[in-house]
Amino acid sequence: MNDNAMSELPQQIRALLQDGNNSETVLPQVLQLVLTAYQSETGTIHRLDGEKQLLHLAAQIGMPPFLMDTIKTIPVGKGIAGQTVERGSPVTICNLQTDTSGVAKPDAKKTGVGGALCVPLRAGKKIVGTIGVGTQRPHEYTPTETQTLEEIGRIIGEHLD
């Protein structure tokens, strides 16, 4: 991704969220902007139910139907999104197909996703969810790509809180 597109992305997302659209319609639009900028085919946004320690799917693009039951509700600590909340920091995998870290669930490999990056959605210091992107090719996310997605995570987090 070029640096120019990367630097404009947070402002585009802020503008989209400030239009006063409801989350149900605006979150898929936000996710599509992110996926386009990151040249990625799949993405999810989850909201955190802190009391129950569960992540609930708020938006998704490109996820295969067989995975929908698995990603609809994710316990904190499980899978890539759950690990992101538990660690309170980004989780990135260069190639999900060959990953042996144990972070990704076995079903995740069936998606065909190579590179994956998931970051917390934050409202201040509080984690309120996650946003994740995945691409079909192996991809090592750069510090700039990770920092930009974290900035986007703060913008979305403030909107959701």
Render pLDDT for 72-105 as a digit per residue (tens, 0 to 9): 999 999 989 999 999 999 998 765 556 556 666 5
User: What per-residue confidence (pLDDT) applies to 3?
Assistant: 63
Q: Is residue 134 part of a domain?
A: no
Q: Is residue 159 part of a domain?
A: no
Q: pTM of the entire structure?
A: 0.89
Domain hosting residue 78, numbered range: 25-33+40-120
Is residue 148 situated within a structural domain? Answer: no
Q: Is residue 161 part of a domain?
A: no
pLDDT for 6 beyond 80: no
70 CA to centre of own chain: 15
Beta bridge partners of 126: 123
* Average pLDDT value for residue range 103-123: 76
CATH number of the domain where residue 110 is located: 3.30.450.40
Residue 66, C-beta contacts closer than 8 angstroms, at least 6 positions apart: 107, 110
- Residues near 141 by Cβ (< 8 Å), separated by ≥ 6? 92, 115, 117
Smallest Cα–Cα separation from 147: which of 87, 81, 92?
92
pLDDT of 133? 95
CA distances to 35, 56, 78 from 108, in Å: 18, 17, 12
The total number of structural domains in the chain stands at 1
